[in-house]
Amino acid sequence: MSKIEKLSTKQKEAKTKCVHTIALAGNPNVGKSTIFNNLTGMNQHTGNWTGKTVANATGYFEYRGETYKIVDIPGTYSIMSHSEEEEIARNYICFGNPDSTIVVVDATSLERNLNLVLQITEITDNLIVCVNLLDEAKKKKITIDLEKLSKILKVPVVGVTARNKKTLNSLLKVMRNACEGKEKINQIYQIQYQEKIEKAIEQVKQIINKQYKIQEKLARWISIKVLDGEEHILKEIEKQLQIQLINNTEIDKVKKEVLKALEKEGIYQEELKERIVATIVKDAEEIGKKVCKFEKEDYANRDRKIDKILTSKKYGIPIMIVFLLLIFWITIVGANYPSQFLFSVFGSIQEKLIEFATYIHCPEWLSNMLILGVYQTLTWVISVMLPPMAIFFPLFTILEDLGYLPRIAFNMDGFFKKACCSGKQMITMCMGFGCNSCGVTGCRIIDSPRERLIAILTNNFVPCNGRFPFLITIATIFIAGTIGGIGASIVSTIAVIFVIILGIIMTLVISKILSKTILKGMPSSFVLELPPYRKPQFLKVLVRSIFDRTIFILGRAIAVAAPAGLVIWLFANIGIQGESLLTIIANFLDPLANLMGLDGYILTAFILGIPANEIVLPIILMCYMQGTSLVNMEDTFVIGEILRQNGWTILTAINVMLFTLFHFPCATTLLTIKKETGSWKWSAISFLIPTVCGIVLCMLTTLVYHVFCL
């Protein structure tokens, strides 16, 4: 705790002392966040999910006695169109008044990156080009003449390898000079459009200059925007600068005139836009040719070879399944040991707590309520949730860092398109296997709001880490148990895989239904970069996945588990006429449960298990054993005996597995859905959809079972 406090006071101090502001811009996947983290010493929670900074992240750092504020703006290919990230990026560079803007570019694809650099040169003079990933470029035998680039652009250019902290020193030096006005910039590179277009820009600019006092460069940029008629950009400029551009009679008049003149030359407004973009791209191409040297023309050969295998018709999907199964297997098996360890540590603390309570003569009901109710449930959730997440997320982040996730989206897009959604949903589903709440947050990578919402609402259809062990236990006892021997583990594995596949099919079906009903629409375009493969940064992966994901989710789970523990204890211990509340509720739910081939206790356990799916089985066992606190049992054989004694059949087992897959999301996920969509309405819908599916499916199987077996 003290460390966090120290940091936060340090941050506060930094804020008050801050003198210089730096913006950090660049294409996606160029290592902006790595630079950001290395400069700010990773004190910042960047909120970075699968390669995407969704809002500006702000951090502070000191260099040579001065404090700098650094703003990491979303990664974009361009700042000319109207997607959410581009708007945030554009607004900050234009109107955030940073002392300097660092544009991070990827040395391995400099040409495309220069496109953004040139667009930014149209807005500000104060920029530094930071060529990152020089190590990757070296591997691919690409050399870049940084000095020449600096001469052409007339801005400072620094080459770095961001993952190596030392190389950032040169960037810091240049940045400091730039902030203190020591980097003398005479005349920054200016894009020259065709003469006719330049003339048109000049005419509009004159009017703007006449009406408003705006800096020369900005006036030129605004003139271009007036001409290409992107109204939302103009509106934003109006708002920020308190000027009027739309419905401004003088500007409108000149605009009409020059557009007419251009039309006479054969350039219509639609084409004008394209010519402007094309000029920038061509300029970038030319500069790229001047400064880059490719010793090997086929520098991407290794990547293409890997791609050919990982996305092939024959092996693409099997390899993907093997990768994912491997991750789940390592997670489930590996989490057992730390889980047991945590259980025993918390267990011995629990004994001490009980002793202490007796020692201070705490009334028994109170100590039981707090220790057996609140404490036990809380530590239970931590013991079962922390280890799998701490294993799953680093593994998953490694796949992400390698560059494999976009390939998964690429492989699966065909199937998702048929369901009117995006292949990127597959990535969020994979995250959902780890934790549905994380999966829901991960849906930010999907651009189209409609498709993002579908992905959020259906994420719960894949079983998370909390549900896997339960599924495996039931499958082992009831489906494989009848066989025995080596065959048993194979059969139970197949059963679990079958459940997963069912979940994926349901995801697609429900996505399709949603697309045809409440979230009507066609699949939007799917333009996805498949970035070069990169070596993952293991340490950073570990830190990022533990802090950004694991701790974060655990915090939310704990917030729900503590009060839930109290409620569960109260239900098990408060009774009317000798019957506990739990039994009363279970009896009440019994008729519905019987229709679903379950019993009232099972349904009650699912409802009380809302803080975390991990505690459903312990609650069921608690009910059956007439206990008053959660029951931890390792031996599947004993569990099986208890369940059978309480009337479980193969039908019960199948229905429990189905309902585990299809029921309301846990409280943490519901909270996250509210956070991500901004409305409880969507949380409610995401609660209802799987629950209704589960109830209907269970009723169907029960019906079929009774028709055929009785």
Partner 1 sequence: MKEKTVNELKLGEIGIVNNIIGEEGIKRRLLDLGLIEGTNIKPVLVSPSGDPRAFEFRGSLIAIRKEDAKNIKIK
- Total Cβ atoms within 10 A of residue 650: 13
CB of 385 to partner 1, least distance (A): 35
Residue 34 burial (CB count, 10 A)? 21
Which residue is listed with tokens 């356990």? 605
319 token code pair: 């390899």
Q: Whole-number minimum distance, CB 316 to partner 1, in Å?
A: 4
CA dist., res. 386 & res. 252, Å (int):
62
Q: What CA–CA distance (Å, rounded) separates 64 from 478? A: 67
Nearer to partner 1, 235 or 352 (CB): 235
Q: Report the C-alpha gap between 489 and 475 in whole angstroms.
A: 9
- Of 166, 313, 708, 709, the residue at the interface with partner 1 (CB under 8 A) is 313
Query: Of 119 and 669, which CB lies nearer to partner 1 in the complex structure?
Result: 119
Residue 545 is classified by DSSP as I
In the bound state with partner 1, the residue whose beta carbon lies nearer, of 280 and 342, is: 280
Q: Does 80 bind partner 1 (CB under 8 A)?
A: yes
Pairing of the two strands 579-580 and 142-144: unpaired
Measured in degrees and rounded to the nearest 5, phi and psi for residue 339 equal: -60, -50
Q: Which stretch binds partner 1 (CB under 8 A): 128-136, 411-419, 582-590, 659-667?
A: 411-419
Name the residue nearer to partner 1 (CB basis): 213 or 313: 313
Q: Is 223 in the site for partner 1 (CB under 8 A)?
A: no
- Distances from the Cα of 571 to the Cα of 85, 422, 566, 633, angstroms: 48, 44, 9, 21
Structure tokens at 359: 């020692």
Contacts of 16 (CB under 8 A, 6+ apart): none
Q: For residue 709, give the H/E element and its range.
A: helix 680-709
Sign of the C-alpha dihedral computed for residues 52, 56, 60 and 63 taken in this order:
positive
Answer yes or no whether residue 298 interacts with partner 1 by CB under 8 A.
Answer: no
| Residue 555 neighbours by CB distance under 10 Å | 10
Angle between helices 680-709 and 581-595 (to 10 degrees): 60
Q: Is 528:424 a contact under the CB 8 Å cutoff?
A: yes
Q: Kindly state the smallest distance separating residue 109's Cβ from partner 1, in Å.
A: 4
Picking from 313, 654, 348, 228, the residue whose alpha carbon sits closest to that of residue 478 is 654
For residue 613, give the H/E element and its range: none
Least separation, in Å, of the C-beta of 529 and partner 1? 6
Among 159, 373, 394, 406, contact with partner 1 (rule: CB under 8 A): 406
Smallest gap from residue 111 Cβ to partner 1 (A): 6
Residue 192 binding partner 1, by CB under 8 A: no
Q: Is 414 in the site for partner 1 (CB under 8 A)?
A: yes
CB 51 within 8 A of CB 61: no
Q: Is 312 one of the binding residues for partner 1 (CB under 8 A)?
A: yes
The site string for partner 1 over 524-553 (x = CB under 8 A, - otherwise) reads xxxxxxxx----------------------
Q: Which is nearer to partner 1, 168 or 233 (CB)?
A: 233
The DSSP 8-state label assigned to residue 648 in this structure reads -
In the complex, what is the shortest distance from the CB of residue 153 to partner 1, in angstroms, rounded to a whole number?
Answer: 18
Q: Which CB, 405 or 689, lies closer to partner 1?
A: 405
Q: Find the binder of partner 1 among 277, 504, 551, 585 (CB under 8 A).
A: 277
**Least distance in angstroms from the C-beta of 528 to partner 1:** 4
Part in contact with partner 1 (CB under 8 A); list of ranges 49-57, 110-118, 157-165, 688-696: 110-118
Nearer to partner 1 (CB atom), residue 530 or residue 631: 530
Task: Compose the 248-267 pattern: x for residues touching partner 1 by CB under 8 A, - for all others.
Answer: --------------------
Q: If binding is defined by CB under 8 A, does position 387 make contact with partner 1?
A: no
Give the one residue of 63, 343, 415, 682 binding partner 1; rule: CB under 8 A.
415
The C-alpha angle with vertex 25 and arms to 20 and 28, in degrees rounded to 5, equals 150
Residue 292 or 568: the one with the smaller Cβ distance to partner 1 is 292
Q: Which is nearer to partner 1, 207 or 409 (CB)?
A: 409
Tell me the residue length of the chain.
Answer: 710
Does residue number 274 form part of the binding site for partner 1 (CB under 8 A)?
yes
The encoded tokens of residue 526 equal 């799917």
| Residue 311 CB, nearest approach to partner 1 (Å) | 5
| Residue 284 makes contact with partner 1 by CB under 8 A | yes
CA distances, 172 to each of 10, 158, 168 (Å): 21, 10, 6
Residue 87, interface with partner 1 (CB under 8 A)? no
Instruction: For residue 433, state whether it binds partner 1 (rule: CB under 8 A).
Output: no
Considering only 3, 264, 304, 361, the residue that binds partner 1 (CB under 8 A) is 304
For residues 118 and 191, the answer to whether their CB atoms sit within 8 Å is: yes
Residues whose CB is less than 8 angstroms from the CB of residue 687 and which lie 6 or more positions away in sequence, other chains included: 664, 665, 670
Measured from the CB atom, the residue of 447 and 590 that comes closer to partner 1 is 447
Query: Which one of the spans 13-21, 34-42, 72-80, 498-506 is the region binding partner 1 (CB under 8 A)?
Result: 72-80
Least Å from the CB of residue 288 to partner 1: 9
Task: Please report, for residues 62, 99, 250, 694, the alpha-carbon distance to residue 241 in angstroms, rounded to integers and kept in the order given.
Answer: 32, 18, 18, 55
Count of residues touching partner 1 (by CB under 8 A)? 44
Min dist CB 452 to partner 1, Å, is 16
Burial of 293 (0-12, 13-18, 19+ CB in 10 A): exposed
Determine if 272 is a binding residue for partner 1 (CB under 8 A): no
Residue 243 near partner 1 by CB under 8 A: no
Report residue 665 CA to chain centroid gap: 18
Which residue's CB is nearer to partner 1, number 316 or number 469? 316
Q: What whole-number distance in Å separates Cα of residue 563 and Cα of residue 612?
A: 12
State how far the Cα of 406 lies from the Cα of 429, in Å rounded to an integer.
13
Query: How many Å apart are CA 496 and CA 503, to the nearest integer?
Result: 11
Residue 203 tokens, joined: 């005419």
Task: Pick between residue 504 and residue 685 the one whose CB is nearest to partner 1.
Answer: 504
**Position among 18, 152, 243, 317 found at the interface with partner 1 (CB under 8 A):** 317
Question: Phi first, then psi: what are they for 53, rounded to 5°?
Answer: -95, 115
- Contact letters (x/-) for partner 1, 468-507, by CB under 8 A? ----------------------------------------
Select 29 or 672, whichever has its Cβ closest to partner 1.
29
Of 76-84, 95-103, 144-152, 670-678, the segment contacting partner 1 by CB under 8 A is 76-84
| Region binding partner 1 by CB under 8 A among candidate stretches 521-529, 542-550, 585-593, 621-629 | 521-529
Judged by CB under 8 A, the stretch of 402-410, 464-472, 488-496, 646-654 that binds partner 1 is 402-410
Q: Enter the tokens of residue 397.
A: 């982040």
Residues in a beta bridge with 49: 52
For partner 1, the closer of residues 213 and 314 by Cβ is 314
Chain residues in the site for partner 1 (CB under 8 A): 77-78, 80-81, 108-112, 115, 274, 277-278, 281-282, 284-285, 300, 303-304, 307-308, 311-313, 316-317, 406, 409-411, 413-415, 417, 423, 524-531
